[in-house]
Amino acid sequence: MRVLASPLCRVLLRLLPHCGPVGVSPAKGSILKPCKQMLRQNFSDKAEQVTTTELVSYWRDVFEANGIPEAQESSEYIVSHVLGAKTFQTLKPSSLFTPLTKEQQQQIQQLCAKRLQRMPVQYVLGEWDFQDLTLKMKPPVFIPRPETEFLLLPWVSEQRDQRLRDASLYPVILEVGCGSGAVALSLLSKLPHSQVIALDKAEAAVNLTRENAESVHPEMNQEFGGSWEQLVPWGPVDIIISNPPYVFHEDMTHLEAEILRYEDLDALDGGDDGMRVIKEILMLASYLLKDEGSVFLEVDPRHPEMVKNWLQSHPDLLLSFSATHKDFCAWGAVYPHHTGPPDPPSASGVPDVFLIDSAAYVVSLTEPPAHPARA
């Protein structure tokens, strides 16, 4: 076990999901219902002349016969992907009734076979759009959800306004639990003057963030390290943003098979009250945030009141509850606000539970600012 000297480091490392295989193994194979067997026979009889629309309908019926959720959407995404389009709606009208080649049909069949194993479409395609970025997706790295896009809106708008008033502002942003890099890279696209640090316990997640950074921002400077010490040159940060594990532990068994079989469950399980990592991020924030800094968290709808009560019971953190924003799924995002720095923690004030046997992986997506950190 590696014992870290700084109490703050222990808190930081404790926040992030553990590496390791997903707890539930993929199914060995899908059971083909009679309906699917009949469809497969009908399809093979006319394989040389099948059109795009016919193939979408065929695989929709196959998915429905095997109980695959969102059968129509899954079929459309896979067929469109093989034909070089993002969605079925963006295909050229002329291509809808054009027979597909044998190679295209085989590609579609291979991808649909993965979907029949309940693999998420994002992993099947190997990529997915988040806001205006196309990002690579690989299991078991957490798939960004559309509701997470709402996490970015309030602060991005505020920063753009501040940037118009003062062009010398260079906000330093820390994302805890970067996954595929969706949030960090979106922030850099919308706020190119910002400095971003993306942090995750899982090496696979940081590697995927690096791949996506190289793809969508090839001109970007990157630094990669396997230690919390990578954060030192950055000093205090303006914002901490996170989509942390917040699912109540008792709700984990009710998640879809796509999640249970393929995604990193540690990136979802928030403990008995869903607050395990949320509390630790808030404790971390009280030491890392600049004065008037902010924390943006995506949470369960039950959490805003719980977070507010928890902050009120921990006045020593000097964090105040700012606002709750509901996304289109009625999910919540809470925004605690930093009112000033507390005294640094002492070694004796940090429980031993924060000692873990591996380091966090850090990727800084721009160079540390050369100017002095603002107080």
Contact present, 159 and 194 (Cβ < 8 Å): yes
pLDDT at 368 over 50: no
Domain shared by 44 and 104, yes or no: yes
What is the C-alpha to C-alpha distance for residues 257 and 60, in angstroms, rounded to an integer? 19
- Residue 350 is assigned to a structural domain of this protein: yes
Predicted pLDDT at 124: 98
206 and 276 both lie in a single domain:
yes
* Mean predicted lDDT score pLDDT of the chain: 75
pLDDT at 222: 66
Same domain for 155 and 268: yes
Question: Quick one: 220 and 353 in the same domain?
Answer: yes
- pLDDT score at 226: 55
Which range of 17-21, 58-62, 211-215, 232-236 scores highest in mean pLDDT? It is 58-62
Same domain? For 260 and 302 the reply is: yes
Same domain (yes/no): 112, 159:
no
pLDDT of residue 15: 45
Is the pLDDT higher at 75 or at 172?
Answer: 75
Give pLDDT, residue 113: 97
Residue 373 placed within a domain:
no
Same structural domain for residues 82 and 190?
no
Residue 233 lies in a domain: yes
Domain membership of residue 2 (yes or no) is no
Query: Domain with 245 in it: what CATH number?
Result: 3.40.50.150
Q: Point out which residues pair with 225 in neighbouring strands.
A: 362
User: Within a domain: residue 61?
Assistant: yes
Overall average pLDDT of the 199-224 stretch: 84
Minimum mean pLDDT range among 118-127, 160-169, 216-225: 160-169
Residue 67: is its pLDDT beyond 80?
yes
Per-residue pLDDT at 265 exceeds 50: yes
Does 126 fall in a domain?
A: no
Are residues 154 and 14 located together in one domain of the fold? Answer: yes
Contacts of 43 (CB under 8 A, 6+ apart): 50, 58
Please report whether residue 29 resides in a domain: no
125 domain residue, yes or no: no
Lowest mean pLDDT among 1-15, 86-100, 204-218, 294-308: 1-15
Alpha-carbon span 60 to 93, nearest angstrom: 20
- Regarding whether 251 and 169 lie in a shared domain, the answer is yes
Residues 61 and 139 in one domain: no
pTM of the model: 0.77
Query: According to the model, what pLDDT value does residue 309 have?
Result: 93
3-state secondary structure of 274: coil
At 43, the pLDDT band (50, 70, 90 cuts) reads: low
DSSP conformation letters of 7-60 = HHHHHHHHTSPPPS--SSPPPS-PPPPHHHHHHHHHHHHTGGG-BHHHHHHHHH
- Cα–Cα distance, 169 to 371 (Å, whole number): 11
d(CA 291, CA 306): 24
* Domain count for the chain: 2
Give residues with Cβ within 8 angstroms of 227, minimum separation 6: 359, 360, 362
Domain residues for the domain of 48 are 34-116
Q: In terms of C-beta density within 10 A (0-12 exposed, 13-18 middle, 19 or more buried), how is residue 132 classed?
A: exposed
